[in-house]
Amino acid sequence: MKKKPPKITMEQVAELVGVSKATVSRVLGGSSLIGDSVREHVQKVADDLGYVRRNQKRHARRSILTIKLVLPPVANRTSQLFYSLMDLIDGLRAGLQPSTANIIVETSGPGYQPFRHKKGGEADAFVFAFHRAGTEVLNEISARAIACVVLNRVVRGVRGVVSDHRHALGLIAEHLAERGVKDKCCFVGYQGIDDVLRARLQGFEDGCQRSRMTFDSERDLWVAASPQEIKLTEVKSWLTHGVTTFVGVNDVVGVILLQHLRGLGLRIPEEVRITGCDRGPVREITFPRLTTVELSMFKLAEHAGASLQLEIVEGSEAARATLVKGNLLVGEST
């Protein structure tokens, strides 16, 4: 009796090509998300080995996806004030449904290695939260045709899910106008968050124009070197020049300003108003509570998870950029 030839598996094809099993699956499944050179190489090896693909659709409810959630470097301690880790994890799980998610949390930094093993087959996707991965890291992920999403940062050629910063600060401007603010505003930010600062500043300026508030994005802008460099002496200087409203680029800045102004004995909001943005965890432990815009980390991660589910399980192309709008939360600071 003639023996049947041994069955060729995807693992064997991946072994010879030097890529992950997920990459082989995408190529053989006809995904348009794989580069031509990788596609041709995988297809040639599969043909040479005599691989026969089973005509069976992947069932989302039986899919277990391994996602690496990469957080900012440990040295960037202030980043922990802006988000809840559990919101990110729960949001990813919700977006990836009906697939089951195995989420591995890592931190970035100098020398970060996205793959512990040569072929990197342990990850179906990477989610970089609130920071940009290095070019070498992104190139390595791309070379293995692994899905990748960046949260709240813009990286050319990489899919991003971003809070609608312009809309958020537009809401702040319109709210201040409703409270009778016409001018004498200072927008306070800091270096190192250039994309976010630029978008939020533009959104506030646009909102001021719509509401007929007087605001000059050069004259009325204070950009400190870091949150720690938002000093009392500089706050006093702005007050001396007549400022009666401080608009923080985020809640951390808003809370720092709040502490300085309360320390000066000023009545809030009767004498001076303060706003933030993000609804970061730090807002919940301050009094008076800041007026802010809730930019939900859960929703941000949920959109990222849904786009990965669409790409990995359903084999479809997701949007390259997604904007997630926020909601105004009026506190006692305005």
Looking at residue 40, its pLDDT comes to: 80
Looking at residue 56, its pLDDT comes to: 42
Tell me which residue has tokens 């050179």: 37
Give the helix, strand, coil percentages of the chain, each rounded to 5: 40, 20, 40
Looking at residue 312, its pLDDT comes to: 84
- Please name the helix (run of DSSP H) or strand (run of DSSP E) that holds residue 274, with its range, or none: strand 273-275
SS3 (DSSP) at 204: helix
Q: Can you give the pTM of this predicted structure?
A: 0.76
CA proximity to 201, closest of 229, 172, 235:
172
Give pLDDT tens digits for 21-56. 767 777 776 665 566 777 788 888 888 877 776 544
CA proximity to 248, closest of 273, 216, 219:
273
In CATH terms, 165-294 corresponds, of 3.30.450.70, 3.40.50.1820, 3.40.50.2300, 2.40.50.140, to: 3.40.50.2300
How would you classify the pairing of strands 159-163 and 273-275?
unpaired
SS3 (DSSP) at 94: helix
In this prediction, the residues of the chain whose per-residue pLDDT falls under 70 are 1-6, 22, 29-35, 53-62, 74-82, 117-121
Looking at residue 1, its pLDDT comes to: 44
How would you classify the pairing of strands 64-71 and 125-129?
parallel
DSSP string, 22-66: HHHHHHHTT-TTS-HHHHHHHHHHHHHHT------PPPGGG-EEE
For the chain, the domains span 10-49, 60-162+297-324, 165-294
Looking at residue 153, its pLDDT comes to: 86
CATH architecture designation of domain 60-162+297-324: 3-Layer(aba) Sandwich (3.40)
Tell me which residue has tokens 């809309």: 167
